[in-house]
Amino acid sequence: MPKEEYEESFDIAKTLIDDIDDVPFIALCISIKADGIWSDDTHFKTQKEFIVFRTRELSLAFKSRKLR
């Protein structure tokens, strides 16, 4: 997604997460009104605005579903 489409959310995102490298991801989540984010980066757990889906959790969830 082009940065121009979510950069207006950068200021809010900076207040939600300490790692400056993660700000664009949080800004994008805000912009698209995401319910959560998929990441194993521990910095995302410090924010409380979005659910953080871990790879292991998703893997177990899909593994428990039967494929048709």
Banded model confidence at residue 66, pLDDT cuts 50, 70, 90:
low
pTM above 0.75, yes or no: yes
Name every residue whose Cβ is closer than 8 Å to that of residue 35 and which is 6 or more positions away in sequence.
50, 51
pLDDT tens digit string along 4-61? 999 999 999 999 999 999 999 999 999 999 999 999 999 898 889 999 999 998 888 8
The Cα 43–Cα 2 span in angstroms is: 24
Residue 67 has pLDDT above 90, yes or no: no
Describe the chain by its helix, strand, coil percentages, rounded to 5. Answer: 60, 10, 30
Q: What is the pLDDT of residue 63?
A: 78
Amino acid at 32: I
User: From residue 35, how far is each of 32, 62, 67 by CA, in Å?
Assistant: 9, 18, 25
